[in-house]
A and B are shown apart, each in its own frame.
Chain A
Amino acid sequence: MADVDTKTPLLEVKNLVKHFPITRGITKRVIGAVKAVDDISFTIEQGKTFALVGESGCGKTTASRCILRGVEPTSGEINFLNRDGEIVDVTEVPRAPLRELRRDMQMVFQDPFGSLNPRMSLLDIVGEPLLVHGMVDVQERADRVAELMRLVGLRPEYMRRFPHAFSGGERQRIGIARALALNPRLIIADEPVSALDVSVQAQVINLLQDLQEQLGLTYVFVAHDLSVVRHISDTIAVMYVGKIVESGTVADIFTNPKHPYTSALLQSVPIPDPRARKARFVLEGEVANPANPPSGCYFHPRCPNKVEKCVTEAPQLEEIESNHFVSCHRAKELDLQGLVASSK
């Protein structure tokens, strides 16, 4: 890897938009759009973990897939620092060089059962990216697969087995090995541990952290489990109906939230401690429809702190403290509750 200034962010996403058209009739007339990702921006430093959190349908998965153009973005810039130290806009890269660029960015999927082809052996699954990228020699490939399997804590002897012979946690390790095959620098992990049992989840989280340390990986971590997010990430963006409502460091978001939605989200998490039981604030209503979002601030119909301005005017994401961005008209005046451990 070329000498790269470690201060330059690995990824800078600017005004990313993804609209899915809603069509009607045989002419496929476009009658509207689902604004899955609606103008979001964020940067990720090298070797750090950035988490996208939010409830189902908020666009966090779509946003993460836009980064490697698994989903073609509608507009926006995705500036990625490649291994030669040049900044390239992923959205502008033509097909052939994009394939080359994708060596550097790989995905780990949520469902360890659906994301592995049941008819392929481990050798084929983990070796496929190698084959696609020109490693045609069978022996060479098998050696690399063995190395990868050891790296993720699987026994290389098992490489001729098929996915059904493995448990959920082991399958997730296979998915990680496949993602690591091409020595990527950015891993996009979409809910990598949410399908796993608690006892196994911890093993996979540890593995992800060990790999980050060993290989200097950068993670985009898409998740809804906030305790996992707090454990693993450096910076967080909270999404609501296609927009980032708040972003900042882990400590800022968890202890000093400035957006009412972030605060409500934190208060909603059931704490695994019966002594922490309390009458909690419960957020009313339901997530807005991204095809037909409310006026003004999308969160206003559920917001306990709304004022008239929220109904008419959409707030912009503003930096209210260093590296702490919030999109709320009342961000500076509200005193919101974060998560602070009750005295034990």
Chain B
Amino acid sequence: MVDKLLSVENLKTYFPTDEGVVKAVDGVTFDIEPGKTLGIVGESGCGKSTVGRSLLQIIDHPGKIIDGQVHFQSESAGGLVDLAQEKPGSPLMRQVRGGEIALVFQEPMTSFSPVHTVGNQVVEAIQLHMDVSKKIAMARAEELFELVGIPNPRSRLNEYAYQLSGGLRQRAMIAMALSADPKLLIADEPTTALDVTTQAQILELLKTLQKQNNMAILMITHNLGVIAEMADDVVVMYLGKGVEVGNIDDIFHDPQHPYTQGLLRSIPSIYTEGEGRLPSIKGTIPHPFNRPSGCTFRTRCPDYIQGECNTAIPQLQTVGNTKRTVSCFKVHPRKEEVAANG
């Protein structure tokens, strides 16, 4: 058995607001092995970004991790630590954040400071994690820019974010994230704001860097194509919960949860012309304060079982002898007699 780099168990991050508690992440469990890619896929508001931010303890106010464990194999701590127990400002957290776990944001325009050169920003990141002079840091920044494929790295270092195109900005962002040689890179919608040809470039770059550095990637995206391209394992999230977790081939070719099935069916095929209607998931994503009781997907589910799905919350359970887990009463009937009949 391979040692896990990161193991998240039943993570819950809630946002208490005046109107009520938003359960952004409401029980997510997954593992990441060194050098592998885990994809988290889900629609807007499902909490996938909050998962990434929870791992680094940079949750927006008033969000808080209220339950669960984030076990991380940390070098600076010399072993397994539970990041969920750390305070956001603790020395260990500051070493891990940006050091051992780095983050690439979605919006490369707003995630850089507009009033500092990109070079200075990368240098700042390097000096935060390494005790080196500015000169050495600058040389390292130039190396990093070259590594991520930015042409004329030396002159680009002296430019401001607005002078770089979207693709170059995202490369600079990746360079910054790589500055301390992280073991895990969290990529939160890293290509969503980019055009397809640039997206292909960035995805290739991430794959190459992953191989070179034996770095694990947590890929957070709503784009099933990107997931299929990149991930080894997938977590499908719906309304804060992981509803299906498994390896990439199982998820795409033998989805078990009705939500995963619906999601995959609703993408039009690029291989064929449209014949008739697209299968779609009925209804819309419920409001955070108005989540259905029982299984949160039941109001949109084609396989809804009256008296089952609305009364109890399904838990993630393994399917057969595989490592895949699904939370659905259709797959794992609650009562023994139902199992016998079905």
Contacts and interface: CB of A to CB of B under 8 A. Distances in A.
A180 to B, nearest CB: 19
Interface in B254-302: 262-264, 266-274, 277-282, 284-285, 300
Given A55-B195, A230-B269, A339-B271, A280 B200 contact: yes
A276 B266 contact: no
Contacts of A264: 197
Interface in A269-295: 269-277, 280, 282-284, 286-287
B284 A268 contact: no
Given A198-B267, A228-B268, A230-B274, A273 B222 contact: no
A11 interface: no
A206 interface: yes
Nearest to B232: A274
Interface of A: 55-56, 167-170, 197-203, 205-206, 209-210, 224, 226-228, 230-232, 250-251, 254, 264-265, 267-277, 280, 282-284, 286-287, 339-341
A283 B229 contact: no
A175 to B, nearest CB: 16
A261 B223 CA distance: 23
Given A198-B263, A201-B266, A283-B200, A231 B226 contact: no
Q: What 8 A-B pairs have minimum CB-CB distances, sorted nearest first? A: A270-B225, A231-B268, A202-B280, A231-B274, A202-B266, A55-B195, A199-B281, A197-B43
A297 B167 CA distance: 23
B200 A199 contact: no
B317 to A, nearest CB: 24
Interface stretch (B22-30, B55-63, B245-253, B328-336): B245-253
Contacts of A269: 196, 225, 270
A73 to B, nearest CB: 25
Contacts of B273: 230-231, 250-251
Interface in B186-218: 195-201, 203-204
Contacts of A250: 273
A93 to B, nearest CB: 34
Interface in B293-339: 300
A29 B272 CA distance: 51
B196 A232 contact: no
A275 B199 contact: no
Nearest to A203: B280
A209 B277 contact: yes
A267 to B, nearest CB: 8
Between B198, B223, B248, the greatest number of chain A beta carbons within 10 A of the residue's beta carbon is seen for B198
B197 A199 contact: no
A341 B196 contact: no
A228 B269 CA distance: 8
30 contacts: A55-B195, A55-B196, A56-B195, A167-B285, A168-B44, A197-B285, A198-B222, A199-B280, A202-B280, A203-B281, A227-B268, A230-B269, A230-B270, A231-B269, A231-B274, A232-B268, A268-B199, A270-B199, A270-B223, A270-B225, A271-B228, A271-B229, A275-B252, A282-B197, A282-B201, A283-B197, A286-B168, A286-B198, A287-B195, A340-B271
